[in-house]
Chain A
Amino acid sequence: MTGKKNWKVTALLILGSLFIFFPLYLTITIAFKTPQEMSRNLLALPESWSISNFITAIEMTNFFRALGNSVFVTVITVVLVLLTHSLVAYAIARNMHKKFYKFLYFYFISAMFIPFPIIMLPIVKQTSMWGMDNLIGLAFLNVVMQLAFNVFVYVGFLKSIPVQLEEAAIIDGATTWQLFWKIIFPIMKPMHATVAILTALFAWNDFMLPLVILSDSSQYTLPLVQYAFQGQFSTDYNLAFASYLMAMLPMIIIYIFAQKWIIGGVMRGSLK
């Protein structure tokens, strides 16, 4: 953009961003300090950047196992979501003039207004009865819970793609399946990015669903581990903050490198 830069607003925004950074600054510094250092000055930088808190936290919470669990659930959820939700949305978007598909569309997206607690109690019974109280079951339920929003976003996008493209392919003798995988699926790339980002963030940070679904603590995801260890962290804030920092770090690192892409993806989704 050209013209005179608005320095007053810039300064105000920088000042405001301190509110964003402050909790993170606190987390990082406390994670490196010893309890003695902390009792002296809460806000100061650590005297020696000791990683002992991290090592203790890794051992105590079995960090890498939790990290593995989180990665596992997130990856499975995202892959399944991209493959299935786009397909469902395609079938719906191209048949919206038919009553059944129109019904399906509204049936699916109406789930956005159904609060999770209304299904929470029965679904927990159901999943444990069917042996789904594990990471696979969690990923599967994630896919179900995200269907409403994703169908909404995908259908919105598909409406903007001209049907002529597909008609040409049909004349060439392509089947509906070929049409979808060879033409439509690749065209939907920008929407895949949006859906993947939002789904990954949901699966990675979600707390309530893992809390009620997972029965075995060895399968706990990163947020759930922080919850489960509250008692053991007790007043050892240095240890707790080291653990929090490690739990947040993977997403922060991804964000630092892909922020433009992530913000763009979320914005595209919100405009639908």
Chain B
Amino acid sequence: MHDSPRDRRHLVVPLLVAVGLLVLLLLPLIIPSFYLFLSTRILVFGLFATAFNVVFGYAGMPSLGHAAFFGAGAYVVGLASTRTELPFPVVLLLALLVGTALGVVFGLMNLRVRGIYLLLLTLALAQAVFGLAFTQVSITGGDNGIFGIAREGLVPVGLPYFYWFVLGIVGVSLALMWQFMRSPVGMAITGLRESESRLAATGYRVGMYRVWAFAVSGAFAALAGMLDAYLVGSVSPANLAFLLSAEVVVMAILGGARYFFGPFLGAALILGLEFYVSTFTTRWTIVLGALYIVTALFMSDGVLGRIAHWRQRSGQRAGTATGPGPDGSATSSGGPVPDGVPALPAGAALPSMSGSGPAEPTPSRSTASARTTASARTTEPRP
């Protein structure tokens, strides 16, 4: 979406997608079932992180409460499968509905807050949901959660079938989100990140798009939670906990929050590393903490951002691009970006925190100048 020239993409991308899909489809036949469990988990959390990124990377709202949606979806499965006989399509619809409704609540509550207050408000909302799951013992099982969620009737018994099932749902969800981000509503949501004031000045109802972002993100995050509950077979308040909200933020940033597949990559990296590290030490949490620190200090534009940066630099060194500059990662070619406007530095790739981003040494005074830099690259190329 953001990177590499268009003409080359026309050939390379579909090919890569086709090969990737084929590999993913054949995966259960290639790898042992232990790795298959990991792969399924990566798919689930990849979906979660991608859904989170609608609010975070696209709309530029740093939410610290996304575990609420994930956990809500998981609890829908937990309650539905242990207390009712509802068929799967109904459970799926319920999870989507609960996620969307919760997303609308989050969106409406967050209409007036920015930056650090948005972080804190989403955190408080998620904690309220966590508190419900924790204390309503008669319904949710409290701290113990709900056990014995069966996948019977869903797919034939066996992890490969469940893997294909998850792959299907995740694939369709990603395709839907990809398409959504290219719809007029999705473009407006991206506009929220680039310059909310400018979006408002052009007549968009900014608040509505904030709610939209949370609703869509919440729906797909709940879907991921639903899949996780089926995969693990149990639900507990840990599915709603603050640490999960923090982890999904790190997944998105580590992979590259500016890119559609960045968060998915981040999820794969963290879960893969967890799997690898856990084979020789029980102190995974320390490694995870170190990873958070490294991400915060050095990976603010993510792995994909780094790669784009390196490619841009090697392109410069080869001398292929003289003149107005190589096709930077942030300014896609063909976009309505005027010549001479530089791509934002790589360090600015994080969704800016309401005027206190790294690029601004003076948070209180220089908002106007910062806004002009940001608004110069407001739009993405429309397909």
Q: Do A and B bind each other?
A: no
